[in-house]
Chains A and B, each alone.
Chain A
């Protein structure tokens, strides 16, 4: 996290993504989360750096762990244009860490005698992390069990052929059968790797597969630090003795006076169960909606649908004066940054949010054209949007006849999205 945040800051993304934009695409129910003014936005990032260091070293854990979760999640809640499954994963893990005694051994807190060394922890504290990882993998695997991935080998076909000029592997990567191989292997890997990691006998093999798999994805796909996150977090599946052996290389051993932490309190059991139920339910909520999931994206996020589709869109917005019916075409780049523009063009909820933004921007506004003044009282917002899914020819996504500013943003099924036609 430390490295990820440093990378984020050094690439200037704080400025590009959280200071420059004129509008932010908040999450439903969290639209009140707003960015700090100007350079103050660096503050949460610095907090993440400090807290990540604190959690890593187990220093002032009582404060650094919750602050880490809060500052990271705050940033993620600001704008869903930047949503990534692995950011969500990090949010969840940092949330769990607040309640776990991760500072109670091999930490500065113990070293400074802020708390006593623990030899044994309740099993749930380890198992909940294993569970979280299992959720990520298995749901990512389940998400791949559909015809697009398995029968059409999409979107991997598109992504792999783009490497056609790579030395040695290029000529292989543009072959269709390689895309099929990767798709099927990826699916099987995601579905079963956790079980092989849990079994002591297959663990070494499985872990080497973890390394190979994530290294390949890092090499071929634009997925940032995610491979490294997974490679290191799957170490949790190894036995305590393995970790203690590893730590003994640093001349570390449990203190003489180390204690055993027991807490299988009913409350803990209840809370953990609730968390588990939520995690199991959320990825399946898409079943509540009709239509094509990839097209409508109803129940798509927070479901470990990782690198699962390639969607491109062209969205042309119009602000129409309701009285004169005069119309102005919007240049999206005047109001949105590139990431926002790309994400918005294919995601229904963002389309509605952008329409609201335009409505507010142009309501009661005045145009001065050729020295004449034109006032717009109550504009309607229209859009003509075409989207291509996984390399198919583009189709109409949103028809121009809807006034998007009148459609409310909620979790109900969106019937203003044109139905997806398999071609």
Chain B
């Protein structure tokens, strides 16, 4: 008897609510949407992230090979190809630094590979003493890819690298440390994390989807600050701080900046580097009837990348000759922050938080 009552009660309530909802809105939207987070994460993991880490590992291995070649034959040509290999590695790093979660976070890849500005006096003292523990936190600003801006481009770099064994040993130690860390992260993605990543589609803040979105947005903001805002003086009363320019000596900062922003755009669209299109966040937005937002994000990102590529001088020269062009770029990036951090997440129902909460 009770069971039957229960059933009718629920049924009646359902009917009432259904009829009301039909009244209030002309036609309830019963479109079956195709977008699935599993497909998005599968595409990102298999076609973008895993190949990205593989490329990083391969780049660092090539960097090590070029180092060895140079040590065996200390020619200008070999030094140049060492430099070129370093730049390729740095660019590749800017394509995967976006994914600072999971294995990358476990191994502290961001700090180990990408910390700048470099502490040059720390590097000098490490080299002259010849004994160092590269895993200490004190040595973080003296290691990683950015350290080679100093090691390869400082005055007398060629002479020191070729004649001072302490110097070249230090360089090799850095390369090998990076190789170990990049392989470890790649292996963990390859062996187990990819499978976890693809299927964790929930809404809780510990799900891979939430972690990815949070880290994706954070990486955008980090880029804004570290590659542009800080040297431009946004954190220092508007007073420029050229010492914070990435690769101040080799003057590659715009290339790295553009590579990072373009990679970010590709991740947003789920596109591979070779141009093959895939399921991305843009598809999710379109599915949620917000193609306008997706278009805004895409066109602003394109404009940001083309502005960076359009600068004809290096960062430091531009700071002193045409600060306004950098300010304009900063404003564009800042304005887009609102679109991705607030508009995008609010329709997706992702909590922008790094911790689980007790809810309401």
Contacts and interface: CB of A to CB of B under 8 A. Distances in A.
B28 interface: yes
Contacts of B204: 222
Contact of A162 (B21, B338, B339, B349): B349
B28 A328 contact: no
Contacts of B30: 175-177
Interface string A390-423: 1111100000000000000000000000000000
Q: How large is the interface on B (under 10, 10 to 19, 20 to 34, 35 or more residues)?
A: 35 or more
Nearest to B354: A338
Nearest to B29: A176
A329 B241 CA distance: 14
Interface stretch (B31-39, B154-162, B265-273): B31-39
A185 B9 CA distance: 11
Interface string A118-162: 000000000000000000000000000000001101010011011
A205 B21 contact: no
Interface stretch (B10-18, B47-55, B113-121, B122-130): B10-18
B359 A222 contact: yes
Nearest to B41: A165
B241 A158 contact: no
A311 B352 CA distance: 11
Given A174-B33, A339-B353, A84 B360 contact: yes
A387 B341 CA distance: 10
Q: Which one of A150, A180, A224 has the highest number of Cβ atoms from chain B below 10 Å of its Cβ? A: A180
A350 to B, nearest CB: 15
A166 B37 CA distance: 10
A85 interface: yes
Contacts of A185: 13-14, 17
Contacts of A387: 342
Contacts of A370: 239, 241, 243
Interface string B229-240: 100011111110
Contacts of B352: 312, 338, 342
B2 interface: yes
B345 A312 contact: yes
A164 B33 contact: yes
Interface in B321-360: 334, 337-339, 341-343, 345-360
A93 B298 CA distance: 51
Contacts of B29: 175-177
A374 B334 CA distance: 26
Contact of A369 (B239, B346, B357): B239
Contacts of B191: none
Contacts of A390: 346
Interface stretch (A8-16, A246-254, A286-294): A8-16
B20 A184 contact: yes
Contact of B342 (A162, A181, A314, A324): A314
B9 A329 contact: no
Contacts of B337: 314, 316
A180 B21 contact: yes
A16 B18 contact: no
Contact of B359 (A84, A150, A202): A84
B192 interface: no
A231 interface: no
Nearest to A388: B346
A392 B349 CA distance: 12
A225 interface: yes
Interface string A367-387: 101101010100000000011
Nearest to A163: B203
B235 A162 contact: no
B360 A223 contact: yes
A268 B343 CA distance: 52
B288 interface: yes
Q: Which 10 A-B pairs have the closest CB atoms?
A: A184-B17, A223-B359, A180-B21, A224-B358, A165-B201, A162-B349, A326-B237, A312-B346, A388-B346, A176-B29
9 contacts: A163-B202, A166-B202, A174-B33, A177-B18, A189-B13, A208-B6, A226-B359, A338-B353, A369-B241
Given A4-B358, A327-B237, 6 more contacts: A84-B359, A161-B288, A222-B203, A226-B359, A312-B343, A376-B237
